[in-house]
Structure 1
Amino acid sequence: MINDFNFGRVVIIGDLMLDCYVSGSVHRISPEAPVPVLHRAHHTVVPGGAANVAMNAATLGSSVALIGIVGRDISAEMLKKALADAPGIDLSYIVDDPEWITIAKTRVLSGRQQIVRIDEERIETPSAETRARLIHAATMAIKDADVVVCSDYAKGVLSDDVIQAVCVMASKRGIPVVVDPKRKDLSAYKGAYLITPNRNELYMATGMSCKNDEEVERAARVASAAFGGNVLVTRSEDGMTLYETDGKITHVQVRKSEVYDVSGAGDTVVATIASILSAGQDLETAAVIASSAASIVVSKLGTATVSRAELSAALLWEIQEDGETATLARAQDIIEVWRHHGARIAFTNGCFDLVHPGHIALIKAAGRQGDKLIVAINSDASVKRLKGQTRPLQDEQARATVIGALRDVDLVVIFDEDTPLETIKALRPDVIVKGADYQECDVVGGDFIKTYGGSVVLAELISGRSTTSIVRKMQAGA
């Protein structure tokens, strides 16, 4: 699905930040004061604010032009270096102001627990000269843009004149402006195509309760009237609500995931929306895909991005047909998402030339050993090498279709080797299930999965059932 999208050029203007992470371990309390003593192990920096929006859009595959202000300080140098390491981001539009302090946020963590955050910033409206330079940069960048993003963190960059200049320029070119808003007065975003407030931001802007679907719908309608565009409300565990100017309302359910850190989740949403729109998709599609992206990023620690492969795999989790046949690479992406949700992966394999009760018993037994079952099937060439030139009786696609239709099967892969060892190494299942006619030491891949804590299970067979015996009876006219 998303792998087929041809993403366009996204212009991002807003408050640039540097997110710093100091991590280590705490084992004692300071004798000087009742505070923990952190034994520092790592110090990392990543782009934050509008720069994180740019990283997310570029990671998905969009071409990005980034506009903002940095000072002439060490934080600016570190931010530019971090951004330069990402392909697809044009930094030539960033405005350098000697009077500006590059915004930096330092988070101190012990394990995954944040102990304290230290902010370095001076919130003020840029000078008239600097604002003029921002508007000029936007004018140049928007000339070949497909979508414009205003990432407003209320740190001064998106002043009234800058926002209106951006909206007017985009309107003249007929391209949408997507705003991640922080203002209470939404009329400042007049001319924008979409705003993406969270539930609290919507409440602050409208003064209306936003606890359930009906209340969010009413508040979104008021917000839309304030600036004249569409509203996508992000609602944490309650998903998202899209209110469109024609009155259409769409509630998007969020995929459940373990939440480690919500830092930058809004950045991921607005970057995904803009990227999907740049690919020529409609707003509802963009909202649904952005919901999946948000559920991925909150499971990561710190300011993070979502790759196209991760997002594609997440979407496969949601739309995948049970028992579909997948390439090995696609199966790896799907399994990555399954594991992200804590699923135990079971695996079995065979030729499955003529499916009989013995096969069904094996697959049912395998299905009971995990949350998801992968069945690996020998290719036609592999079967011929193992069974002779008269086999298989059904080609590999027919066999995969039959096995995939069974209720217990979640995914089918076809392998061309004589054994499934390479497939097992690529997929790394938690358990391999084979028939009790095997000895555990003879199960292909058994030794390998035990190296990382996996196991082998031998399932009872239905005696006298095999494809070979069925073929012999047919040949004998029995």
Structure 2
Amino acid sequence: MIEAFDFGRIAVIGDLLLDCYISGSVSRISPEAPVPVLLRAMHSAVPGGAANVAMNAAALGCGVELVGLLGVDNSAERLRAALAPHAMIDLSGLVVDPKWTTITKTRVLSGRQQIVRIDDERLDVVSEETRSRLIDAACAAIARADVVVCSDYAKGVLSDEVLEAIMAFAAARGVPVIVDPKRRTFGAYRGAWLVTPNRGELAAATGLSLGTDDDIAHAAASVSEQFGGHVLVTRSEEGMTLFRTDGPVLHARARKSEVYDVCGAGDTVVATIACVVSAGQDLETAVVIANCAASIVVGKLGTATVSRAELSSALRAEIREEGATVPLVRARDIVEEWRRHGARVVFTNGCFDLVHPGHIMLIKAAAQQGDKLIVALNSDASVRRLKGESRPVQDEQARATVIGALRDVDLVVLFDEDTPLDTIRALRPDVVVKGADYQEHQVVGGDFVKSYGGRVALVDLVAGRSTSALVTKMRQPQAPAVESDGSS
């Protein structure tokens, strides 16, 4: 799962905001005007915009270098103070311009209801000297990064010149750039690897209808032509749609959750994708994990983050639990879904005719090698070829029911061949487990699994336990019981 990911380092470049919250209770209407009177209880401030992307990445345990523009004002001081305690965020790329006003958004809340938002911003044109400093800071951060995020809130930091410099320098170093866009069209993002518009931004950029999945996919393909990369459309309660220039469209349905506040959810999505990609995972996996992260953050009030522990727990709950026999084709789909959630898949196999403590210990040890365990069972025909016409004692459905009911088993598949090699090739597990009575070179499928970076694990067995011994004992004649006459 995600706790096993080894995150790299990301550079977050863009517009820095300070999100303030004034909260309290409303119990009456003002006598001066028909407006509610708020009895203020708390006033807080948290990083927003590109700074919130950095906070989300740091919460997942990823190293971040933040590049943006601050003024010399109280909001800048409060933003620095909010970021300073987070050791994973490098603030050396922050550029200060006394002529710049640090942008502040103040939301007034009663309970969970937002009453009004007050924006404090003065969008002056960034000077050539400041723009040059931003480009220098951005390039320095990209030189140390595995992934770049451009968080564009259309506040002036990501000008055409700055974007062009970012794309050129990142391309020269082979670093992917992810853009959270706010422009009406996406031509300025040419060179980006992925752009993440919401439904409204996609509609504005294409002028197309977005009523169905096919409409969304068509519009994403259209907007991809504007900059040349992949497109991830965030669709609120409908989830996300990923259009890839080199693969099929993926529709990731939203996880059911109670929505309190969508503020900052896009920041969580782009931060999570950047983190997962920095760990060497593919884009499809990153999108599925980000979809889960978004479902968590919208259940929180205000600009918020998702911790690595929260996300891991939600991913585990979201993965399908199908501990019963399924066809190999279905098993392959389930395993791919597990992988998109970051799970390490373990495989073991056997006849498991009469389940005994040795079997249980093998399965428990196998489950400890990863996150999801597949047990492949020899079919009845396969068992007969291996063990003789008198076996199996229990038919394949009975054996599958017993094995599937074990807590450590996530999936059961049957194979009709003499060995599980074809099943292993189809499912491509990360780990293959056999008992320590085997040597590694004897494990069927071991070389294949190791060829793509997997491994073979040999686990200790319980001595003296085997189904054959149980069957032999069952067939031995039993001495008749001696009835007692009651005497001592």
Q: TM-score, normalised by structure 1?
A: 0.68
The match for 1:38 is 38
Q: Secondary structure at the match of 1:93?
A: strand
The match for 1:307 is 307
The answer as to whether partners of 1:124 and 1:155 remain within 8 angstroms in 2 is no
The match for 1:227 is 227
Deviation by residue 1:422-464 (Cα, 9 ceiling, x = unmatched): xxxxxxxxxxxxxxxxxxxxxxxxxxxxxxxxxxxxxxxxxxx
Post-superposition offset of 1:140: 1.1
Pairing 1:332-411 to 2, within 5 Å after superposition: 405=405
What is the one-letter code of the residue matched to 1:272?
Answer: T
The answer as to whether partners of 1:125 and 1:159 remain within 8 angstroms in 2 is no
CA distance in 2, matches of 1:179, 1:477: 81
User: What percentage of residue pairs aligned between the two structures are identical?
Assistant: 67
The match for 2:244 is 244
What is the one-letter code of the residue matched to 1:246?
Answer: D
CA distance in 1, matches of 2:201, 2:178: 16
CA distance in 1, matches of 2:267, 2:186: 19
Deviation by residue 1:155-201 (Cα, 9 ceiling, x = unmatched): 11100010110011100110100000011121100000000000110
RMSD of aligned alpha carbons: 2.4
The match for 1:204 is 204
Deviation by residue 1:365-413 (Cα, 9 ceiling, x = unmatched): xxxxxxxxxxxxxxxxxxxxxxxxxxxxxxxxxxxx9798279x99xxx
The match for 2:291 is 291
Closer, same or farther: CA 477–83 of 1 in aligned 2, 3 Å: farther
CA distance in 2, matches of 1:291, 1:227: 24
Post-superposition offset of 1:123: 2.1
Q: How many residues align?
A: 340
CA distance in 1, matches of 2:45, 2:404: 46
The answer as to whether partners of 2:167 and 2:177 remain within 8 angstroms in 1 is yes
The answer as to whether partners of 1:54 and 1:66 remain within 8 angstroms in 2 is yes
Closer, same or farther: CA 477–120 of 1 in aligned 2, 3 Å: farther
The answer as to whether partners of 2:101 and 2:123 remain within 8 angstroms in 1 is no
The match for 2:258 is 258
CA distance in 1, matches of 2:286, 2:215: 23
CA distance in 1, matches of 2:403, 2:85: 45
Post-superposition offset of 1:322: 6.3
The match for 2:213 is 213
1:180 and 2:196 matched: no
The match for 1:123 is 123
The match for 2:138 is 138
The match for 2:472 is none
The match for 1:376 is none
Post-superposition offset of 1:209: 1.1
Deviation by residue 1:325-356 (Cα, 9 ceiling, x = unmatched): xxxxxxxxxxxxxxxxxxxxxxxxxxxxx99x
The answer as to whether partners of 1:125 and 1:157 remain within 8 angstroms in 2 is no
The match for 1:318 is 318
What is the one-letter code of the residue matched to 1:178?
Answer: I
CA distance in 2, matches of 1:247, 1:213: 16
Q: Secondary structure at the match of 2:277?
A: helix
Flag as ranges the 4+ runs of structure 1 deviating above 2 A.
320-324, 401-404
The match for 1:91 is 91
What is the one-letter code of the residue matched to 1:131?
Answer: R
Post-superposition offset of 1:85: 1.6
CA distance in 2, matches of 1:82, 1:198: 28
CA distance in 2, matches of 1:56, 1:31: 43
CA distance in 1, matches of 2:93, 2:18: 17
Pairing 1:159-174 to 2, within 5 Å after superposition: 159-174=159-174
CA distance in 2, matches of 1:143, 1:217: 34
Structure 1 unpaired stretches of 5+: 325-353, 356-400, 411-473
The answer as to whether partners of 1:180 and 1:195 remain within 8 angstroms in 2 is yes
Post-superposition offset of 1:11: 0.2
Structure 2 unpaired stretches of 5+: 325-354, 357-400, 411-477, 483-488
What is the one-letter code of the residue matched to 2:215?
Answer: E
Closer, same or farther: CA 213–25 of 1 in aligned 2, 3 Å: same
Post-superposition offset of 1:477: 7.0
Closer, same or farther: CA 26–171 of 1 in aligned 2, 3 Å: same
Closer, same or farther: CA 203–477 of 1 in aligned 2, 3 Å: farther
Closer, same or farther: CA 42–215 of 1 in aligned 2, 3 Å: same
Post-superposition offset of 1:125: 3.0
1:77 and 2:41 matched: no
Pairing 1:51-70 to 2, within 5 Å after superposition: 51-70=51-70
The answer as to whether partners of 2:12 and 2:151 remain within 8 angstroms in 1 is yes
Post-superposition offset of 1:31: 1.2
Q: Name the larger-Rg structure.
A: 2
The match for 2:24 is 24
Q: Secondary structure at the match of 1:294?
A: helix
What is the one-letter code of the residue matched to 1:294?
Answer: A
Deviation by residue 1:35-64 (Cα, 9 ceiling, x = unmatched): 111111111110000000000001011100
What is the one-letter code of the residue matched to 1:287?
Answer: V
The match for 2:14 is 14
Post-superposition offset of 1:319: 1.2
Deviation by residue 1:117-148 (Cα, 9 ceiling, x = unmatched): 11001123311111100000011111110000
CA distance in 2, matches of 1:293, 1:14: 22
The match for 1:276 is 276
Q: Secondary structure at the match of 1:137?
A: helix
What is the one-letter code of the residue matched to 2:239?
Answer: G
Q: Secondary structure at the match of 1:94?
A: strand
Q: Secondary structure at the match of 1:68?
A: strand
What is the one-letter code of the residue matched to 1:93?
Answer: G
The answer as to whether partners of 1:153 and 1:181 remain within 8 angstroms in 2 is yes
The match for 2:153 is 153
